[in-house]
Amino acid sequence: MRSKSEKVRRQLIDAAYQSFWQSGYTRTNVDAIAARARVTKRTLYGHFRSKDNLLEAVLSHYEEFAAQRLAHIGERIPGGRDSLIEAFFAQLARWASTTPRWTGSGLSRLVMELADLPGHPARVMARRSKATTESWLAGRLGEAGIARPRERARELMLLMEGAMVLTLIHGNQAYIGAAAQAAKRLIKSK
């Protein structure tokens, strides 16, 4: 019986993940999540106390997924200075061009949507996830012999997040290429 319960819980997390990332947190209701998971609303509430509680589970799942994604990206990114930057932003460009209806970072969008709720668990989770990515990037930059890797990682995060937002606003992936060029100049100038 326990495995059936875990299977239903996983269906709900997957359905909520898809719903939140497609429609946003506030525009998604629990009825839609239950329908997408093919369960009743009562079953949903049997597994999760609230929509916020479900969001926490989704974000925990996302955190695991993000760690796997970073490991995968790390395997594909070369260690040299310029090639590291090129590959990092090329991966972002591939993600943007191969994902139908690309909407950028779901965590960034979610935090913007919940901007007026500073203590919300989603904001805590997003901060932790972005910090993990920044720390991972600092490690890669340090391995490549780039001076002050933590500072450079923060600057590259700003370029990456800005590129995603401007790509969404303008519908033009050239912003990702421009961010890559700015990153290369930044690394060379330091």
pLDDT computed for residue 1 by the predictor: 47
Task: Name the burial class of residue 13, with classes exposed (0-12), middle (13-18) and buried (19+) by CB atoms within 10 angstroms of its CB.
Answer: buried
User: Of how many residues is the chain composed?
Assistant: 190
Whether the Cβ atoms of residue 37 and residue 15 lie closer than 8 Å to each other: yes
Query: Which pTM was predicted?
Result: 0.80
- Whether pLDDT at 74 is above 80: no
The string of pLDDT tens digits covering residues 93-131 is 988 888 777 888 877 888 888 888 888 878 888 888 889
What's the longest Cα–Cα distance across the chain? 61
pLDDT (0 to 100) of residue 119:
82
Cα–Cα distance measured from residue 125 to residue 100, given in angstroms and rounded to the nearest whole number = 26
Q: What distance in Å separates the CA atoms of residue 114 and residue 132, rounded to the nearest whole number?
A: 21
